[in-house]
């Protein structure tokens, strides 16, 4: 039997094609990309070795720092809001709506499946100031406030991006965290109730500690996704006004394909990868320490 389940030729046939495609189109390019970081040029004009110039350029480039700044601000604010709103909704599903939550869950989840470009075009119209007044500005006018040029000022554009992503993703995080809350054993909640814990106190002292692992995976998933934001920004503001909402991904895309600087583009991509890794490791380590402290 071991000869059949350990048949080398069969393993090669079953695993080979997937491993081959994956290696050729993902693993090899990852290392290939590293060699670009010490070169200058693009495939059409050719490449030329330039040492660490790209890295020096990156750290002295104000646009790069602006992009890092926007990426970090966006990732931190959105992760916080996504997880907080998602957790709030999940608690509402579990403790208030109970059996009846299925329909609400399904409806709040649906924007996740919509194409980002379509949602972004819709939000451009929702927040429009001129020539027509969109629903949001109409609402402000109704309250006696004047219309806001949402896409003309950096701060407003930032919050429209955040708002759109919260609208799209809070249902997703709610279902993710809901699955974690449902896994909490009945007996624990019941005994806490008997001990007199209720409402906010029950959530803070019993439910929250028990759902920390699933909250942690939600935070890691969210930070990794938000650091790589591309679709939302490209379709909603295209990095504007000016380049006030340009994340690293878009800066890398423009550098490479609009200016044809593949070397510098690869350097930015590498920095983005390092940023993602740093965050994941940082979150893991900081929570590990907390867990050992408590026990």
Partner 1 sequence: MSTAKLITSDAPIESHLEPPRKRRGSRDFFSRLPLRLLIIVLLFIEIYPMVWMFLGSFKTQNEFLNEPFWSLPSSWSLDNYIEVFTTGEFGTYIRNSIIAVFPSLAIILILGAAAGFALEVMVWKGRGTVLLLFLAGVMVPAQMILLPLFSIYFQTGLTGTLWPLILTYVAIGLPLTVFMMATFFRAVPREIFEASTLDGASIFRSFWSVGLPLVKNALFTVGLVQFFFLWNDLLIALTFTTKSDLRTIQVGLLNFTGQYGAVQYGPTFAAIAVSVFGTLLIYLFLNQQVMRGLTAGSVKG
Alpha helices (H) in the chain, listed in sequence order: 2-5, 8-22, 28-36, 53-59, 62-91, 101-109, 116-126, 135-142, 154-182, 186-194, 199-202, 208-210, 212-227, 231-236, 248-257, 262-294
Nearer to partner 1, 70 or 123 (CB): 123
Chain positions 186 to 245 lying near partner 1, rule: CB under 8 A, are 186, 189, 193, 214, 217, 221, 224, 228, 230-231, 234-235
Choice from 56, 80, 84, 107 touching partner 1 (CB under 8 A): 107
Choice from 77, 104, 140, 156 touching partner 1 (CB under 8 A): 104
Radius of gyration of the chain (CA): 24
Question: How many residues sit in the footprint of partner 1 (CB under 8 A)?
Answer: 104
> Does residue 98 interact with partner 1 by CB under 8 A?
yes
In the complex, least distance from residue 22 CB atom to partner 1, rounded to whole angstroms:
5
> Does residue 167 interact with partner 1 by CB under 8 A?
yes
CA 265 to mean position of chain CA atoms: 21
Which contacts (CB < 8 Å, 24+ apart) does range 281-290 have? 283/216, 283/219, 283/220, 283/223, 284/220, 287/212, 287/216
Choice from 80, 179, 281, 291 touching partner 1 (CB under 8 A): 179
Chain positions 114 to 153 lying near partner 1, rule: CB under 8 A, are 114-118, 121-123, 125-126, 131-135, 138
């Amino acid at each position: 039997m071991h000869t059949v389940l350990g048949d080398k030729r069969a393993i090669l046939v079953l695993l080979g094609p997937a491993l081959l495609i994956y290696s050729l189109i993902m693993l090899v390019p990852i290392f290939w990309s590293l060699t670009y970081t010490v070169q200058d040029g693009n495939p059409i004009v050719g490449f030329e070795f330039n040492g660490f110039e790209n890295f020096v350029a990156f750290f002295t480039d104000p646009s790069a720092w602006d992009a890092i700044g926007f990426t970090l601000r966006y990732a931190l604010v959105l992760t916080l809001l996504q997880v907080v709103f998602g957790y709030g909704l999940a608690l509402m599903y579990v403790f208030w709506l109970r059996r009846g939550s299925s329909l609400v869950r399904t409806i709040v989840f649906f924007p996740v499946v919509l194409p980002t470009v379509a949602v972004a075009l819709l939000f451009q119209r929702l927040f429009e100031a001129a020539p027509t007044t969109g629903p949001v500005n109409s609402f402000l006018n109704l309250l006696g406030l004047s219309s806001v040029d949402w896409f003309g000022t950096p701060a407003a554009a930032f919050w429209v991006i955040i708002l759109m992503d919260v609208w799209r993703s809070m249902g997703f995080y709610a279902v993710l965290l809901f699955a974690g809350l449902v896994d909490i054993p009945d007996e624990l909640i019941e005994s806490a109730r008997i001990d007199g814990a209720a409402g906010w106190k029950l959530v803070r002292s019993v439910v929250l500690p028990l759902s920390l692992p699933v909250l942690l995976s939600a935070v890691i998933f969210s930070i990794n996704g938000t650091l790589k934001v591309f679709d939302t920004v490209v379709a909603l503001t295209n990095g504007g006004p000016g380049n006030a909402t340009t994340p690293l991904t878009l800066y890398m895309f423009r550098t490479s394909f609009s200016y044809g600087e593949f070397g510098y583009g690869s350097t930015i991509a590498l920095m983005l990868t390092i940023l993602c890794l740093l965050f994941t490791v940082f979150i893991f380590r900081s929570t590990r320490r907390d867990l050992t402290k408590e026990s």
